[in-house]
Structure 1
Amino acid sequence: MSISRSDKHKQQKSRRKRRMKRLLILNGVLAGLIIVFAVLLWGNNNGLWNNGAGRTPEVAERHNPSNANNHGQADSGNGQNQNQEEQPPQDNSSLPDQDDSVQNPGGLSGDGTDTPLNPEENSLTPEQQPASPQYGGQGEVLLAFVGDILLAGSVQKKLDEEGFDYPYAKSLSYLADADLTAGNLESPFTTRGTPAEGKQFVFKGKPESLPALKEAGFDVVTLANNHTLDMGVEGLLDTMKHLDKAGIPYVGAGNNDTEAFAPVILESKGIKVAYIGISRVVPNVEWKAEKYRAGVAETYDTTRAKAAIERAKQEADLVVVMVHWGVERADHPENYQRNFAREYIDAGADLVIGSHPHVLQGFEQYKGKWIAYSMGNFIFNMTSNEKSAETGVLDAKCSRSGDCQMRLHPMKAVASQPALLEGEEAQALLRRIESISYGVQIDAEGNLSSRSQRGGLQ
């Protein structure tokens, strides 16, 4: 049976119509899928599908009445060599700090000669709050703290060999799982600058190491210490710039004294936490921030610090004071440290976290508020001094009202890499810290309580 040319034409036209129809349907399906994917992506970026999990702070704001230099949000990481004394290279950058600072430079007030305190006095305990079944319960925020972080000197050599994330590998969960994590950043980060004169140890970190610090979980750092201006004002300004670029808020230093004393206020779980950084270890009076001079916030006199605390308390639920003070390698705080801590708390501080001695010191509770006199080294050059390798992460699970349950996770740094201690090693370190604390008990899990108080973090 033959088919006419017109019939063939009709059949071909019909087939073309069917193919066109199928093509239109297929294109419609693909367009629909693209639209659905775009909506899902937009919703994820704008937090519509976020169930509240995760540790990124909801707010990271640097409060500055002069509005001169606001700084943004932050987070994370870096390492060093085993427990042996290091020989100083020519630039003296690979040795640990050996108290090259002046405890009271000319022009700064405060002599620290307070009357010795009775360890049992003024350790007032509030009503104990019931423990929640897990961290970050309803109406609570989990804050984590570490001591000195040095990403320079011989630690830098380890970073160059192992990578910038090396120091955090064995402590990462304790840093990143907290709602907010803070530490003392013990060096400038710059590729230029003039080394400070008259200092035995001058440090200089690589700016490329800062993104790893954020990724490890750090939300804020203090620059109020005796190494921030090791490379001069130029190095300090570069450090602030690189921290801003990495998204890590900082306290304790600024372009002027207003900025240096200004808090960073972070919000997590609906609770606002203000961080303030101050130092009573300033190598030279010219490091002190002034109205027209960049520098650090000092606390040889408590007046400015207390005023900053009072202002922060009006804007935040919790106020954390991170203070650089004390004597290196000393197990106990100086009398002025205990007096100053009380003054900070009386002004409105909810937590006082100390650094600088390079060893862990004890804890104390005053009017229901906790004081950690020194968190020791966290990431630092290694020496033969075993106590300088003892470290840890301090957890504070705090309610909006400022009641905090404290827990110390005992660690030891090997080759500038902190790792959790277990078994008898952990218990021995916890017992030692308890023995140098004031009216404080530390149980086998690292929970802190006053001698009249039981319980802790679950």
Structure 2
Amino acid sequence: MPAFRDYVVRTFLAAGLAVAAVVPQPVIGQQITIVAVGDIEWSRATKPPAMYYDAAPSGRSNVLWHRGDGWIRVPYAATQDSRDVLEAALDTTLITEDAHHLRAHHYGLSFEDGQEEARYPFHGAADLLRDADIAFANLETPLSDDARWSGAFRTPSAFADALAWAGIDVVATANNHSLDAEGEGLLDTIHHLRRAGVGHAGTGRDLADARRPWIIERGGLRVAFLAYAQFVNDGGSSFATPSQSGVVPMDPLLIREDIARVRDRVDFVAVSFHWGIENSQDVHPGMRDFAHDVLDAGADAILGHHPHVPRGIEVRDGKPVVYSMGNFIFGHGHDYWMDNIAVRLHLSAEGVTRLDVLPIAGRGDALSQPYPLEGEAARTLLEDIRARSAGLGTTLRIEGNAGVIDVSR
């Protein structure tokens, strides 16, 4: 039992006097709830694509992905005027280096101002977040207004205030898009989250800063959040080092040290992993082994992100592993994405007592304003998660529009 669960006396100086403050022991039987949701990205656009005009040896002009024979590609500014001129010259629609996102569905929304735009995606599920004692998500985009936009996403800083308005208390910022607005954007993100009163874990000014847990106290229980990424989009240079800002890598040595440092200071340690293969619901055996090692090192729950689709849930020795919740909010959608899940952890001083699986709409336009699913749509998703969880040795029962996993140590 952590020492702070007993009566703890802390001394500090106030007005030049030594004062003793007693931290009360959690009430037996008292519970709080943690609601965790999937990936959040609300840039609603991607950076302007690069456009090139090639003259091939045959004399036929074309737009190519690679260097033409005997001629270096000529770059055009990524403006609509340049695009119009090139398309007229080629008598075809340009295929750009951002083709993946151009094939995405972009909702066709318009807004009166930045605040309306930032708050819009939360209107369907804000009650779910606000009703929780702690609400947690993965923030899949940097928050910056003018940092250099070198990756897929960059979201206006007003979104930090929308996260707080919607009831989100803490986000994981360790993911493959953390450096989409480079180092300046990463630091802007940290600044705007702190300004808005939203906690963050997984990135920082250097490795030591990025490894710091975010600790929240609710109802006499202290919860620590740690966050790590398995990979970053630039191949590795976005990982934090002792002298460079960035993302905490999913290094098992660091993870064990970080858990050990915070374990006796809190009642509950939640670890967020940005991991796995995109658009796959399968759980690799190596992922399970890694998760088990982290639980054995002292983590109380693992909250998974990145695959963009939900996966099964495992409970090991009373500790849940949510391998992926899928998406929650995204500035674009794809026809191969599906409905997603949120989870509600019921937490006491003894650990998680129950886990609720909450189906969240994610098809079509739903990612622009997700909402809790009901009826047949909810049951269809829950049946799938129940079967996948059974394959991981976990029993999930369906109660109305939610799944329930009874957790016992």
TM-score bucket (shorter structure)? 0.7 to 0.9
Q: Verify the 8 A CA contact 2:312 2:386 in the aligned structure 1.
A: yes
Give 1:308 shift.
0.5
1:312 aligns with 2:262: yes
1:353 aligns with 2:264: no
Give the secondary-structure state (helix, strand or coil) at the position aligned to 2:356.
strand
Give distance in 2, aligned partners of 1:370 and 1:238. 33
Give the secondary-structure state (helix, strand or coil) at the position aligned to 2:343.
strand
Give the secondary-structure state (helix, strand or coil) at the position aligned to 1:165.
helix
Alignment-derived partner of residue 276 in structure 2:
326
Alignment-derived partner of residue 429 in structure 1:
381
Which of the numbers 237, 242, 251 marks the counterpart of 1:291? 242
Which of the numbers 348, 351, 358 marks the counterpart of 1:409? 358
Give 1:231 shift.
1.1
**One-letter amino acid of the structure 2 residue matched with residue 285 of structure 1:** G
Q: Deviations over 1:66-112 (max 9, x none)?
A: xxxxxxxxxxxxxxxxxxxxxxxxxxxxxxxxxxxxxxxxxxxxxxx
Q: Verify the 8 A CA contact 1:431 1:442 in the aligned structure 2.
A: no
Give the secondary-structure state (helix, strand or coil) at the position aligned to 1:286.
coil
Q: Please list, as runs of the form range in 1=range in 2, the aligned pairs for 1:211-360 lying within 5 A after superposition.
A: 211-283=161-233, 284-299=235-250, 301-360=251-310
Which ranges in structure 2 are unaligned for 5 or more consecutive residues? 1-26, 46-105
Q: Deviations over 1:362-404 (max 9, x none)?
A: 1001111000000100001443435x24123210001112133
Give the secondary-structure state (helix, strand or coil) at the position aligned to 2:276.
coil
Q: Verify the 8 A CA contact 1:148 1:358 in the aligned structure 2.
A: yes
1:164 aligns with 2:118: yes
TM-score (norm 2): 0.72
Give distance in 1, aligned partners of 2:322 and 2:297. 17
Give 1:137 shift.
9.6
**One-letter amino acid of the structure 1 residue matched with residue 42 of structure 2:** L
Q: Verify the 8 A CA contact 1:330 1:357 in the aligned structure 2.
A: yes
**One-letter amino acid of the structure 2 residue matched with residue 276 of structure 1:** L
Give 1:449 shift.
2.9
Q: Please list, as runs of the form range in 1=range in 2, the aligned pairs for 1:94-133 lying within 5 A after superposition.
A: none
Alignment-derived partner of residue 340 in structure 2:
391
1:194 aligns with 2:148: yes
Distance 1:305 1:189, change over 3 A: same
Number of residue-to-residue matches in the alignment: 311
Q: Verify the 8 A CA contact 1:322 1:353 in the aligned structure 2.
A: yes
Alignment-derived partner of residue 127 in structure 2:
173
Give distance in 2, aligned partners of 1:325 and 1:141. 27
Between the two structures, name the one with larger relative contact order (CA 8 Å, sep ≥ 6). Answer: 1
Which of the numbers 367, 370, 374 marks the counterpart of 1:418? 370
Distance 1:157 1:137, change over 3 A: farther
Give 1:338 shift.
0.9
Give the secondary-structure state (helix, strand or coil) at the position aligned to 2:371.
strand
Give distance in 2, aligned partners of 1:253 and 1:156. 31
Point out the structure with max Rg over C-alpha. 1
Which of the numbers 326, 329, 344 marks the counterpart of 1:376? 326
Distance 1:159 1:224, change over 3 A: farther
Give distance in 2, aligned partners of 1:159 and 1:150. 17
CA RMSD of aligned residues (A): 2.1
Say which is worse superposed, 216-225 or 411-420, in terms of deviation: 411-420
Give 1:138 shift.
4.4
Q: Verify the 8 A CA contact 2:28 2:349 in the aligned structure 1.
A: no
Give distance in 1, aligned partners of 2:247 and 2:109. 29
Structure number with the higher strand fraction is: 2
Which of the numbers 126, 139, 144 marks the counterpart of 2:35? 144
Alignment-derived partner of residue 449 in structure 1:
405
Which of the numbers 154, 158, 167 marks the counterpart of 1:208? 158
TM-score (norm 1): 0.65
Which ranges in structure 1 are unaligned for 5 or more consecutive residues? 1-135
Distance 1:258 1:160, change over 3 A: farther
**One-letter amino acid of the structure 1 residue matched with residue 339 of structure 2:** E
Give distance in 2, aligned partners of 1:383 and 1:272. 36
Q: Verify the 8 A CA contact 1:412 1:421 in the aligned structure 2.
A: yes
Which of the numbers 389, 394, 407 marks the counterpart of 1:440? 394
Give distance in 1, aligned partners of 2:198 and 2:40. 14
Q: Deviations over 1:260-282 (max 9, x none)?
A: 11101100000000000111022
Give the secondary-structure state (helix, strand or coil) at the position aligned to 2:167.
coil
Say which is worse superposed, 439-448 or 321-330, in terms of deviation: 439-448
Give distance in 2, aligned partners of 1:420 and 1:278. 28
**One-letter amino acid of the structure 1 residue matched with residue 372 of structure 2:** L
* Percent of aligned pairs sharing the same letter: 34
**One-letter amino acid of the structure 1 residue matched with residue 375 of structure 2:** G
Give distance in 2, aligned partners of 1:208 and 1:169. 16
Give distance in 2, aligned partners of 1:265 and 1:314. 12
Say which is worse superposed, 304-313 or 371-380, in terms of deviation: 304-313
Distance 1:257 1:404, change over 3 A: farther
Give distance in 1, aligned partners of 2:393 and 2:347. 21
